Chains A and B, each alone.
Chain A
Amino acid sequence: MPIVIEKLTYTYQSGSVNAFTAIMDVSLTIHDGEFVGLIGHTGSGKSTLIQQLNGLMQPTSGKVLVDGFDMSDKKQRAKGRALVGMVFQYPDYQLFDETVYKDISFGPKNMKLAPDEIDRRVREAMRLVGLDFDEFAEKSPFELSGGEKRRTALAGIIAMYPKYLVLDEPMAGLDPAGRRAVLAMIDDFRKQLGCAVVMVSHSMDDIARSADKVIVLRDGAIFASGTPAEIFSRSDELYEMGLEPPFAARMASELKRHGFRLPGGIYTNEALADALAAYKGGDLNV
């Protein structure tokens, strides 16, 4: 069963003079196992939208159904929330326990799992995020490096085996190697746990590489939604909105402007390289 969002509207401080509508009339569906990339500039309502997915905020009007559980209803919310794992941007907001092991087991413990199942899941989660059990299990989460903290925070959610994994800019503040590692990890979880992923990111290159579906938010409404090929073929529009389309998409559109006859739907470096390689043999129509 999917996550269904129907005509969702959310207004901050509804009814007061400071009322501000962050999301307006958004409808979308997230299917099982799907990888959805969510993009939009600052203040476009991304964070507000993903917090609706596990009921941290409730709709002002409209509906959010997680596998049929209505997130506006207090009792159903708890059940729906158990299916949606949410990783926030900064690990500093969730790490608290004495050791990495205990911190990762916080979620599974709240799910009231049996101790040996918790232990199994913590080990599995640590393996998936690439934290060596013997080295890190007994360390304090506060003496870790930035990247290790993020892995620990991620493992804390992974260990809950969510059906839907929601990530709010999981790569913010990481170096290129760190970004690649996190992205590879996310792909791993999907394969091994079969979960759907909703990822908010500023980096469209990262989204271009992994997403099945891309949703572009603008001023609280869906501006565009479709496959990466569909979305990134409109890279000029995205650029004007203040977003940074994938490098390959921008390069392709720039080359076309200079007379190169390239096929449409280029948004990864590999596709761009293939298209350019096809030009070999002097077919450069300038």
Chain B
Amino acid sequence: MFKDITLGQYFPVDSVAHRLDPRTKLVLLILYIVAVFIVKDIWVFGFIIAFMLFMTAMSKVPLNYVLKAIKPMKLLLPLMFLLNLFMIKSGHILFSWKFITVTTGGLRQALFIVLRLIALVTGASLLTLTTTPVSLTEGLERLLSPLKAVKFPVHELAMMMTIALRFIPTLLEEADKIMKAQLARGADLESGNIFKKAKAMIPILIPLFVNSFRRAEELALAMESRCYHGGEGRTRLKVLKFHMRDLWAVLIFAALIAVVVILQNTFPIDRYAADLILGLLGKKQ
């Protein structure tokens, strides 16, 4: 039941992407997101996808592993596509039947939303696949450390993230055990409507919560007994250092943005594509 979850799953191989500084990778993710959002021509998206494949190749993570991240959205994506397709009415009418109308604008928007979501999710999962949770939170802590000046609890936030990520597999395992214990007592988790199903989750959620609170208390004790007192004066075993490859990576991603901007301003093919489709359908503007 919980086997599909790839959230925060690290794929342990050695590659350029794995060796990059986590701070760099976080910045790269931001640059990538910027690139994904400034695309306004569908065909330029092909370029983004090619870049995505290039990053995957550089990370040595199997492509189907990266694509697994899309799986939880298998309901959301078609829904978003259809909603946008039928609700947005702009541009030319491609197709119309009774109350259903498909316009060029709607089709464009629908394609965009799906491609954007896929690009974002795969990009983000590539980050977690190539970065251990510990170095990811350390990167985040260091990246946000300027905020300490305004009393923002950066270290505490990073520690909470580390702990949360650390306990995801533990919780999944425990949920599985609790589920078995309740199934053995005749709990029915599958039949009935949505309200019945939600109610059937109570015998699983309560032990899960109770055990989590107990574990949290034990963890706090264990940390305190090892003199943990927050981030002040805390040093690192491995100090993060930037390398040349980090600079190169940022330059490549900056180039991506530049290329996207130049391509879509020089060759705005979309505008003509609409005319082309209409021409093929034998309709006049």
Contacts and interface: CB of A to CB of B under 8 A. Distances in A.
Contacts of A42: none
Contacts of B204: 96
A93 B185 contact: no
B282 interface: no
Contacts of B214: 92
A94 B207 contact: yes
B210 A94 contact: no
A156 interface: yes
A95 B207 contact: yes
Interface residues of B, number: 20
A56 B183 contact: yes
A54 B184 contact: yes
B154 to A, nearest CB: 35
A160 B185 contact: yes
A107 interface: yes
Contacts of A86: 181, 184
A109 B19 CA distance: 56
A37 interface: no
B203 A93 contact: no
Contact of B178 (A51, A93, A106, A160): A93
B185 A96 contact: no
Interface of B: 174, 177-178, 180-188, 202-204, 206-207, 210-211, 214
Nearest to A92: B211
Contacts of B180: 51, 56, 88
Nearest to B187: A110
Interface in A210-265: none
A82 interface: yes
Given A106-B203, A142-B210, A93 B181 contact: yes
B1 to A, nearest CB: 12
B175 to A, nearest CB: 10
A157 B178 contact: no
Given A106-B203, A142-B210, A94 B178 contact: yes
Contacts of A56: 180, 183-184
Nearest to B184: A86
B171 to A, nearest CB: 13
Contacts of A88: 177, 180-181, 184
Contacts of B187: 106, 110
14 contacts: A86-B181, A88-B180, A88-B181, A92-B210, A93-B174, A93-B181, A93-B207, A95-B207, A96-B204, A96-B210, A106-B182, A106-B203, A107-B185, A110-B187
A81 interface: yes
Nearest to B214: A92
Contacts of B207: 92-96
A106 B185 contact: yes
A17 B206 CA distance: 35
A118 B211 CA distance: 28
B59 to A, nearest CB: 19
A144 interface: no
Nearest to B183: A56
